[in-house]
Structure 1
Amino acid sequence: MTSYRQPGVVLTDHRFTVPLDHTDPSGERIELYGREVVAAGQVGADLPWLVYLEGGPGFGARRFVGTQAWLGRAVREFRVLLLDQRGTGRSTPANRQTLPLRGGPRAQADHLAHFRADSIVRDCELIRRRLTGGAPWTVLGQSFGGFCATHYLSTAPGGLRTVLITGGLPSLDAPADDVYRAAYPRVQRKVEAHYARYPQDVERARRIAAHLTEHRTVLPGGYVLTPEAFQSLGILLGSGDGSHRLHYLLENAFVRTPTGPALSDGFQEEVHAALSFAGHPLYALLHEPIYAQGRGPTAWAAERVRAEFPQFDAGKALAGDGPLLFTGETIHPWHFDVDPALRPLRETAELLAARTDWPALYDAGRLAANTVPVAAAVYHDDMYVDTAHSLATARAVGSLRTWVTDEYEHDGVRASGHRVLDRLLALARGEA
């Protein structure tokens, strides 16, 4: 193990080996990476552990510097483990470069079937026993990390001291179609709110989409920016500062050139950084499977359900005089055509979309009988996780207290500094 310092904290690198398939513990093993963080003055103290599960799927744990965001509050009383979930960050990677080592698309899809919440939680249980000597720990789950925490409560509550969930209470039974059917109206509300704040962006967005319709545009790195791909910049609107970031991006889209207006290099570079899946391909591959629970294939649910909302059709918007609607947290087959980080994985994605044998993730009976203290922040009109679904789950889980707030968007636990974590700890302890 390697230890090093940042302002106010001491960091230690941990590596763990776990079974790829937990039903075959003697089979292939993969490596997981975790970063331990402890306050500089408490390195030798006997502190309880808190494990942080990042959102996604497909993102490694956030790389904080010192005591940024909620971490400064956490290290006052916890030894924190920032875990790179399987396939992410410094854990054994799963991407277009490494997956061919598995074989063809079928073998790759079978491999990725082991990268959902059920496997992540079993990883956590092996790691917990190693780090705590068997003592239960606290889980902080952001977004998809909250989905994992809910599965944890369903399958291994004995390993849990407390569960804290931010923007990540999933529906216990909604199929992917219902998730996206609830999502598109929320996304439309966010876009309308953005245009109300920045009315000048209505024409800017239409002009950019029209340009992309008429000119094939290939961004740095080979990403093909189609009108639909441009619309997906709406994913920014789910964060606290996302509307402002989108506005500043749109206002510098065009430059004058000898051959006429063109999309600026700076705009293209920023769009590529926002849209490329090179750093998190599992997000695209597993985004719909995280909702699958053995009731048929997901079958590109977001794409199919989008047809029920024709107002999101870029061509129809440009043919009329209405605003172009951005989209949000949805994955479509065309993502695997326009993004070079995903193109080699198109057939693998098709096989995952057709898969029907996904096991159930949540045990409603066990959740109803839960006695582990749980506190969940539910962000009012969260663009990424449906509020009604979250509140229905909150009513179905024993010993769970909710804090519903419109003060923050989906990234509240980071944007609020210590406030969201403070509130959740107080709720879980009966102090609020």
Structure 2
Amino acid sequence: MTRYVEIDHVVPVPLDHDRPDGERIAVYAREISTDPGLPWLLFLGGGPGFAAPRPLGTEGWLVRALRDYRVLLLDQRGTGRSTPVTRSVALARGPEYVARFRADAIVRDAELVRHAVAGGRPWTVLGQSFGGFCTLSYLSFAPEGLRAAMITGGLPGVGVAADEPYRALYPVVLQKNRDHYAHHPDDADTARQVAEHLRSTVVTLPTGRRLTVEAFQSIGNVLGQHDGSARLHRLLEAPFVGGALGDAFLFAVSDALSWATAANPLYYLLHEATYAHATGPTGWAAQRVRAEFGEFAGADPVCFTGEMIFPWMFDDDPLMRPLRRVADQLAERPRWPALYDLDQLRANTVPAVAAVYDTDMYVPRDLSLATAATIPGLQVWHSTDHQHDALRVDGERVLSHLLAVLE
């Protein structure tokens, strides 16, 4: 276990950066270092709506990073120990408030944190998943704040409508289903029995959430992780007890669905908005595009879905149901601010590297590669050996490779 010093930082920032004298919120960051003389590395994690990881000292990427950097783990606005956006806050403040918690605002927060914590010195940023989206926004709007940029599993398509990432991802999800059933053929019959039971019986999870066929399908989100197929297989081992779905299965399903919980309402509310780049309404893009793929509509075998937020998720979850109207208003928002400056990206001079995973189920490979081709100085590590969670699973190797590319 790596021994290090932790220091807490809290920086006040404007809710609306275009109105610096208006309402203010707080942003929290945790500094971790073994040597205060080292340069800074800002870590931007996944989301939207998730706090920075709470380190235990055994994380491979962090152990590697601490050899060369002081690491700053940012609780992105609205999460963790930053001023939180809870369900009650989102309901009371409404869509205009929630809309101010996207990547463009996170980057402007980070710049204020850089001046307050790092003395204004440029730093290196490491963005994982949604943190990579934020890193691309950083390269767009504040490249002067960066010495270098690293992205893992989070290089988004730019200049595309919200439909396009989902249209690219559904085929990847379908292939993950085929691969799973090829390795575990008996799971097809088990999943079919569960789906038939859910069509005829009202089943409620321990959280109070209704387990519908669609909700059951959404546990397929695990298939995008390195051990996801094995985890899904274990979940489907023995779902029934005496003709009903057993408690062990229902608790396991609740755990498998924990990637989207009421504890992180920003994830529910802003997931599609991460693809809204100066375009019109997202209009529940994941739901709309799903209709183009009939395999997900009652097909045999059951086709599990991936990282998509659907409107029915608000209806089936009593904790999120009050926010359905806010979600609809965000989906219908006629125009969003730009998340990227395409001209600036085409003129980029910041050394950058992105790990793009060949079968990433959350960020479409082809859109990532298309973006990379437009950014000078951005090198790509196109890995066929890793899944989206590579930084967590094989962090020391992944980060070492990215740092070597930057040298």
TM tier, shorter chain?
over 0.9
Give the secondary-structure state (helix, strand or coil) at the position aligned to 1:15: strand
Instruction: Return the alpha-carbon distance in structure 2 between the equivalents of residues 215 and 12 of structure 1.
Output: 52
Equivalent runs, 1:131-146 vs 2, <5 Å: 131-146=117-132
Q: Deviations over 1:226-264 (max 9, x none)?
A: 0000000011011111111111111131212xxxx1111
**Corresponding position of 1:105:** none
Equivalent runs, 1:28-427 vs 2, <5 Å: 28-39=23-34, 42=35, 45-102=36-93, 108-256=94-242, 261-276=243-258, 277-314=261-298, 317=299, 322-427=300-405
Alpha carbons of 1:142 and 1:278: their partners in 2 closer, same or farther (altered >3 Å)? Answer: same
Give the secondary-structure state (helix, strand or coil) at the position aligned to 2:88: coil
Instruction: Kindly state the Cα deviation for residue 371 of structure 1 after the two structures are TM-superposed.
Output: 0.8
Alpha carbons of 1:7 and 1:418: their partners in 2 closer, same or farther (altered >3 Å)? Answer: closer
Give the secondary-structure state (helix, strand or coil) at the position aligned to 1:70: helix
Q: Which moved more, 1:269-278 or 1:164-173?
A: 269-278
Identity %: 56
Q: Deviations over 1:104-159 (max 9, x none)?
A: xxxx1000110111000000000001111111001000011001100100110000
Instruction: Return the alpha-carbon distance in structure 2 between the equivalents of residues 201 and 63 of structure 1.
Output: 35
Instruction: Return the alpha-carbon distance in structure 2 between the equivalents of residues 235 and 384 of structure 1.
Output: 9
Q: Deviations over 1:31-74 (max 9, x none)?
A: 112111112xx2xx311111111111111112220131310000
- Runs of 4+ with deviation above 4 angstroms: none
Unaligned runs of 5+ in 1: 1-5, 103-107
Check conservation: 2:209, 2:318, Cα contact below 8 A: yes
Instruction: Return the alpha-carbon distance in structure 1 between the equivalents of residues 139 and 200 of structure 2.
Output: 51
Instruction: Return the alpha-carbon distance in structure 2 between the equivalents of residues 10 and 55 of structure 1.
Output: 24
Instruction: Kindly state the Cα deviation for residue 99 of structure 1 after the two structures are TM-superposed.
Output: 2.5
Instruction: Return the alpha-carbon distance in structure 2 between the equivalents of residues 344 and 13 of structure 1.
Output: 34
Check conservation: 2:162, 2:275, Cα contact below 8 A: yes
Unaligned runs of 5+ in 2: none
Check conservation: 2:12, 2:25, Cα contact below 8 A: yes
Instruction: Return the alpha-carbon distance in structure 1 between the equivalents of residues 189 and 102 of structure 2.
Output: 41
**Corresponding position of 1:20:** 15
Check conservation: 1:14, 1:34, Cα contact below 8 A: yes
Check conservation: 1:294, 1:356, Cα contact below 8 A: no
Instruction: Return the alpha-carbon distance in structure 1 between the equivalents of residues 48 and 100 of structure 2.
Output: 13
Instruction: Kindly state the Cα deviation for residue 269 of structure 1 after the two structures are TM-superposed.
Output: 1.3
How much is the aligned-residue C-alpha RMSD, in angstroms? 1.2
Give the secondary-structure state (helix, strand or coil) at the position aligned to 2:60: coil
Instruction: Kindly state the Cα deviation for residue 340 of structure 1 after the two structures are TM-superposed.
Output: 2.4
Q: Structure 2-normalised TM-score?
A: 0.97
* Aligned amino acid, residue 393 of structure 1: T
Check conservation: 1:8, 1:67, Cα contact below 8 A: no
Check conservation: 1:9, 1:67, Cα contact below 8 A: no
Instruction: Return the alpha-carbon distance in structure 1 between the equivalents of residues 182 and 172 of structure 2.
Output: 15
Instruction: Kindly state the Cα deviation for residue 7 of structure 1 after the two structures are TM-superposed.
Output: 4.9
How many residues of Structure 1 are paired with residues of Structure 2 in the alignment?
405
Instruction: Kindly state the Cα deviation for residue 183 of structure 1 after the two structures are TM-superposed.
Output: 1.1
